[in-house]
Structure 1
Amino acid sequence: MTNKTNLLYRLPLRFYLYQFLSLFLLALVFTWLSRDEGLDHLLTGYWFDAATHSFPLQKDRLLDLINHRLIKQIVIAAGVICLLYGIIRRQPRPVLVAVLFGLGALTVGILKATSHHSCPWDLVEYGGKAISYPLFSTVPDGSGPGRCFPGGHSSSGFGVMALFFLFYRERPRLAWGSLVFGIVLGLVMGYGQVMRGAHFFSHNLWAGWWVWLTQVVVYGIVSTGLVKEPKSL
């Protein structure tokens, strides 16, 4: 028998209005921060060794093991466990939440694969050959290999924000806590990549933006389509 506490539910319209308004305002802020790449170069510069024209932590084994591999594998495992639990117990909400884990990362992955922005370690100012350019600017000749925007690795951490929809109905505090935890985890995982020269900080901000947008939109569409409101007498 299906556990009623794990059935899908609709969120009120005002929730989506607040979320889309917040996403719109964040998009304006992130665009402003990306206008001249000043913040990105400031943060990346801390981890670049001008004497050797390299990022000393680029191939650091401990950073690669903990941040780039272990944490990501734990997040993936959590998503798989959530999916299997929902399937075995016939509970649609954990299944959808598990799907949201992956959909956000998939969205970022598609955007990243089509991006002309190259990673810091490929750029001229950091010992590479590619030319950097601000977000939404004209792509210059020599932009390099690209495929580095938004931040793919951080999207795995931001995927944890999907737990918001798992807990909101019965435990709203835990839901909001999960959302904050997902944001922090994504930023931490993303900053680990900044330390290695793999991404600019703004790449990770935009990754979180796209992950949350995807999760909110998909949950809204699925829950609205599958959940029937009781008819009034």
Structure 2
Amino acid sequence: MRAGSRKAYYLLNLGIPLLLAMAVFLLFDLTRLDRLISNLLLDPATGQFPLLHDQWFEKVTHKWPRILPNWTGEAAIIGTLLSCIWPLLSKHPQLAHSPLLEKSRIAPLLRFSAGHRRDFLFVVVAFALCTTVIHYLKSHTSVYCPVETTLYGGSQLRTEWFENFSWFSKPGDGRCWPGGHASSGFTLLALYFVARRYRWQHARKLLVAILLLGFVYGTTRVLQGWHYMSHTFWAGIFVWLTTWLTALFFYGRQALQAPAIRRTSALPTVGISAMPASLRPE
């Protein structure tokens, strides 16, 4: 099988996540592994998660980390809005080439945003779809967090996601599956697909960094008893599939599968002049 073939591409980007989903289902959802891991984190003296009410840990691992995906999404929205301005100014050359716009560096910013409109819009749409998918799954499975269940001092019965799942109705008030905090970290996978589009040589390193970030986000919530370990894996799987399908729609397989260019230029300008027309930004 050729590395650049269509079959290899879909096997890597779709087949592996589906195999991982099957493995997580068999190893975690059908066994006691999640509970065994959480039990190891309990304080034997109190039977509670030591970090559950630690305000410093909550702030450092839950509130502050949200800044990264939040700012990324906000920057993409701003970039999308700015990308609409330059085409309008171009209809009036006297405004587009105004010395004030050039000296204040507003014109280069507007030209850059217009040239990368598709990328900004992709990030916005990918973030929105990932949030929608995770919210849908949370509300249609009604899984309660470990500390909310009778296993760890709560009042709710523990259930698996597939026991309550409903396509069109909300079976209960539980909102714990998949991991929401982990998914916020994994949404940065949108940046990886932008890097793949521009054939950035460090795209795989970026992928590893984002995956590690998502797992760190999810694991900190496991330490507090707010999630099981499998919730993080499920969040990563659903966010990957959602973001990948969105990237396919925006860029196409050939742009995402093109081999990386071995040079050290910055991401937004890597090899643009050397790209085929079908791979270049707008």
Instruction: Please classify the TM superposition score into its range, dividing by the shorter chain length.
Output: 0.7 to 0.9
**Does residue 222 of the first structure (1) align with residue 250 of the second (2)?**
yes
2:133 to 102, 107, 126: 107
Structural mapping, 1:40-51, within 5 Å: 40-51=34-45
2:203 to 149, 171, 175: 175
- Say which SS state the counterpart of residue 168 (structure 1) adopts: helix
1:26 to 20, 24, 45: 20
- Say which SS state the counterpart of residue 58 (structure 1) adopts: coil
Q: Which runs of 5 or more residues in structure 2 are unaligned?
A: 83-112, 166-170, 256-276
> What TM-score results when the alignment is normalised by the length of structure 1?
0.81
Q: Which amino acid aligns with 1:197?
A: G
Higher relative contact order, chain-length normalized (CA < 8 Å, sep 6+): 1
Once the two structures are superposed, residues 164-185 of structure 1 have per-residue CA deviations (whole angstroms, 9 ceiling, x without a partner) of 1111133443222222112111
Distance (Å, rounded) in 2 between the aligned partners of 1:95 and 1:62: 36
Distance (Å, rounded) in 2 between the aligned partners of 1:52 and 1:219: 48
Tell me, yes or no, if the aligned pair for 2:141 and 2:161 is still in contact at 8 Å. no
Tell me, yes or no, if the aligned pair for 2:142 and 2:161 is still in contact at 8 Å. no
Q: Report the alpha carbon displacement of residue 186 of structure 1 after superposing the two structures with TM.
A: 0.8
- Say which SS state the counterpart of residue 187 (structure 2) adopts: helix
Percent identity, aligned pairs only, is 31
Structural mapping, 1:1-233, within 5 Å: 13-14=6-7, 15-88=9-82, 89-90=113-114, 91=116, 92-137=118-163, 145-224=173-252
Q: Report the alpha carbon displacement of residue 48 of structure 1 after superposing the two structures with TM.
A: 2.0
CA 1:63–1:147: 2 relative to 1, 3 Å: same
Distance (Å, rounded) in 1 between the aligned partners of 2:172 and 2:163: 15
Tell me, yes or no, if the aligned pair for 1:129 and 1:144 is still in contact at 8 Å. no
Tell me, yes or no, if the aligned pair for 2:144 and 2:159 is still in contact at 8 Å. no
Further displaced range: 38-47 or 119-128: 38-47
Further displaced range: 62-71 or 96-105: 96-105
Once the two structures are superposed, residues 53-99 of structure 1 have per-residue CA deviations (whole angstroms, 9 ceiling, x without a partner) of 42221121122111111111222102222332354212211321243
Tell me, yes or no, if the aligned pair for 2:41 and 2:223 is still in contact at 8 Å. yes
Once the two structures are superposed, residues 77-124 of structure 1 have per-residue CA deviations (whole angstroms, 9 ceiling, x without a partner) of 022223323542122113212432342233112211222221000111
- Say which SS state the counterpart of residue 63 (structure 1) adopts: helix
Q: Which amino acid aligns with 1:104?
A: C
Tell me, yes or no, if the aligned pair for 2:190 and 2:243 is still in contact at 8 Å. yes
CA 1:113–1:152: 2 relative to 1, 3 Å: same
CA 1:69–1:85: 2 relative to 1, 3 Å: same
Q: Report the alpha carbon displacement of residue 190 of structure 1 after superposing the two structures with TM.
A: 0.4
> What TM-score results when the alignment is normalised by the length of structure 2?
0.68
Q: Which amino acid aligns with 1:82?
A: A
CA 1:96–1:138: 2 relative to 1, 3 Å: closer
What root-mean-square deviation, in Å, do the aligned CA atoms of Structure 1 and Structure 2 show? 2.7
CA 1:222–1:144: 2 relative to 1, 3 Å: closer
Q: Report the alpha carbon displacement of residue 132 of structure 1 after superposing the two structures with TM.
A: 1.8
- Say which SS state the counterpart of residue 215 (structure 1) adopts: helix
Bigger radius of gyration among the two: 2
Distance (Å, rounded) in 1 between the aligned partners of 2:145 and 2:214: 18
Q: Which runs of 4+ in 1 moved over 4 A?
A: 227-230
CA 1:145–1:83: 2 relative to 1, 3 Å: closer
Q: Which runs of 5 or more residues in structure 1 are unaligned?
A: 1-10
- Say which SS state the counterpart of residue 165 (structure 1) adopts: helix
